[in-house]
Structure 1
Amino acid sequence: MSDALSPPPTSSDAPPSPALPSGAAATGARIIAITSGKGGVGKTFVSANLAAALTRRGQRVLVLDADLGLANLDVVLNLHPKITLHDVFTGKALLEDAVIQAPGGFSVLLAGSGMVEYSRLTPEVRNQFLNVIQAIAPNYDVILLDTGAGISDVVLFSISLASEVLIVATPEPTSLTDAYAAIKVLAMQQKRQHVRMVINQAARPGDGRAITGQLQQVLDRFVSTETGRGVRLIHMGDIPADPSVRDAVMRRQLLLLQTPGCPAALAIAQLANKIETTLLAPAA
């Protein structure tokens, strides 16, 4: 494990992240970015099922597919949108017409896939994306940004719009190494004081907390910010390895609807409870 968590080389050419827009997370909805250091760890699966679990708890939830150009939220939810963010950005459709209902009762705003023009953060893409967030935030309690994986400028900009970051990782060494790299960039460029973690496909109870603790030790040793404070990892929960997950993904159905009593679905329900009690509870 120590080898897996040794600090990977981080490019000095990593694109600078924009400053957190003032009021972006205070215009209505609580904005949570769900991201990962590498692809294939179940980030979109977590986003969709977490949205269903929060909706079940009475929250008004929107999932925005922020993986511009490589969108797959529509595949996970078995949706076939006629209007996407691409149509909104190009002025072909109104924003309200692009928001559709997903199975599970929450709203989704889907991005088009294969859009090369969204692989780079141009001023136009930046402004359009920010305008969309500011327009829809007053209508929801929670907005989950299902970002792309990695540390591209588009991914970092998406994350900068959120008040909270939830990183999804698996116990695999490559996932943890990339998670470390992503957290380091968030600490250094966005001055994040804390990052929340969910360990997917955990083999045993308690694995995620132990992994988060080991990752915290590496961050404490190698990452420091201008303030001298290190970034703090907050373990939000584990999602156990569960054959029901693969079955739901292959059927393109929400796990919480298909097999609500399976271990992974129960874990996601617990994650929703923790998010609601720690992030969505009204201030005293």
Structure 2
Amino acid sequence: MLDAKLSQAKKLFNITSQNEQLPNSKTKLLTITSGKGGVGKSTFTANIAHILSKKNLKVLVLDADIGLANMQVLFDIRPQYTLFDYINGQKNLKEIIVDTRYKNISLIAGKSGYQYSSNSNSFIFSRLVLDILALNIYDILIVDTGAGLNDYVKEFLRVSTNILAITSTDPSALTDVYSLIKMLSIEKNGLMLCFNHTKSDNIGIAISNSLINLGKKNRLKDDFMIKYIGSVPSSEKISSIARTRKIFVNEFPFDEVAVKLNNVVDNLLKSI
């Protein structure tokens, strides 16, 4: 059964690689990635999902951090099934989708500590994304990838039509995000870039321009576009709220961080 799924997934992946869009689906696909861990990507994703839901958009979050899933913690739910129950053929797609306590937000959970065989990496995750889009239920599917550029992350990126990279001004984070840019420039037309734990938009704009100039210097694809969509400052409240399994923008909607996140979402919606 799994071999048949893998074969079908590969065919669908090849079609999607050529068209970069699933026909007859209203669902916008957004993949959030980082290159480096520790930049607050998952917390950022949960808050972005909440802001989108408050705009009356129906959002599905897919926790694609293979082996280190934590989105169910942020949404304070204990899902009975995970994406692996679907991948392994034990449950159908609708059975692994769980509603959160936030209106318009649903989740497909990952499984922390799960060791998925590297020999099984044959477009099966791309197939999962395509099957979700084929449901034609949600306005936006947000895929929260793991850190780094392992094979699992690359597979989600390959099938994605809209990619948002979250980074910080830390030199190692910038090195990793530039590696991401180089990889994406081969097959994609661009990515959106947002800075976390960054004091001002001016810093984010300046570093984005530096990355663009570095890409030109190293002769990356001419039509590859890096689009800066905002910066979010640090706040001790974010980590403390996350520990209580609550969503920051829901608890502090008028905080500076919440205002900046709303600006990021406004720019995001203009881009997708």
**TM-score, scaled relative to structure 2:** 0.87
- The offset of 1:149, in angstroms, is 1.7
Equivalent residues, number: 257
- The offset of 1:23, in angstroms, is 5.7
1:222 maps to 2:218: yes
Q: Counterpart of 2:203?
A: 207
Q: 1:266 to 1:95 in 2, by over 3 A?
A: same
Q: Counterpart of 1:110?
A: 109
1:278 maps to 2:264: no
Aligned mate of 1:193, from 183, 189, 195: 189
Aligned mate of 1:74, from 72, 75, 88: 72
**Structure 1: how far apart are the matches of 2:177 and 2:110?**
24
Q: 1:184 to 1:62 in 2, by over 3 A?
A: same
Check conservation: 1:35, 1:148, Cα contact below 8 A: yes
How far does the alpha carbon of each residue in 1:228-249 deviate from its partner, in whole angstroms, 9 at most, with x for none? x152210011111122212222
Name structure 2 gaps, 5 residues minimum.
1-12
Q: Counterpart of 2:58?
A: 60
Q: Counterpart of 1:3?
A: none
- The offset of 1:209, in angstroms, is 1.1
1:238 maps to 2:231: yes
Equivalent AA in structure 1 for residue 131 of structure 2: V
- The offset of 1:123, in angstroms, is 2.2
**Structure 2: how far apart are the matches of 1:177 and 1:120?**
29
**Structure 1: how far apart are the matches of 2:132 and 2:164?**
18
- The offset of 1:192, in angstroms, is 1.5
Name structure 1 gaps, 5 residues minimum.
1-16, 280-284
Equivalent AA in structure 1 for residue 246 of structure 2: Q
How far does the alpha carbon of each residue in 1:101-155 deviate from its partner, in whole angstroms, 9 at most, with x for none? 224321111112222225566227346524533443x111111110112211210
Check conservation: 1:77, 1:254, Cα contact below 8 A: yes
1:38 aligns to what SS in structure 2? coil
Check conservation: 1:62, 1:109, Cα contact below 8 A: yes
**Structure 1: how far apart are the matches of 2:267 and 2:43?**
18
**Structure 2: how far apart are the matches of 1:73 and 1:118?**
22
- The offset of 1:271, in angstroms, is 1.5
Q: Counterpart of 2:91?
A: 93
Matches within 5 A, 1:11-22: 20=17, 22=19
Equivalent AA in structure 2 for residue 59 of structure 1: L
How far does the alpha carbon of each residue in 1:173-201 deviate from its partner, in whole angstroms, 9 at most, with x for none? 1111100001111112xx21211000000
Aligned mate of 1:45, from 40, 43, 46: 43
**Structure 1: how far apart are the matches of 2:83 and 2:121?**
16
**Structure 1: how far apart are the matches of 2:126 and 2:30?**
19
1:202 aligns to what SS in structure 2? coil
Check conservation: 2:126, 2:155, Cα contact below 8 A: no
**Structure 2: how far apart are the matches of 1:80 and 1:213?**
42
2:77 aligns to what SS in structure 1? coil
Equivalent AA in structure 2 for residue 194 of structure 1: G
**Structure 1: how far apart are the matches of 2:177 and 2:87?**
31
**Structure 1: how far apart are the matches of 2:18 and 2:50?**
28
2:116 aligns to what SS in structure 1? helix
Q: 1:230 to 1:128 in 2, by over 3 A?
A: closer
Equivalent AA in structure 1 for residue 220 of structure 2: S
Q: Counterpart of 2:28?
A: 30
1:140 aligns to what SS in structure 2? coil
**TM-score, scaled relative to structure 1:** 0.83
2:228 aligns to what SS in structure 1? strand
Q: Counterpart of 2:4?
A: none
Check conservation: 1:120, 1:153, Cα contact below 8 A: no
Check conservation: 1:119, 1:154, Cα contact below 8 A: no
**Structure 1: how far apart are the matches of 2:150 and 2:252?**
35
Q: Determine which structure has the larger helix proportion and give its number.
A: 2
**What is the root-mean-square deviation in Å for CA atoms of aligned residues?**
2.1
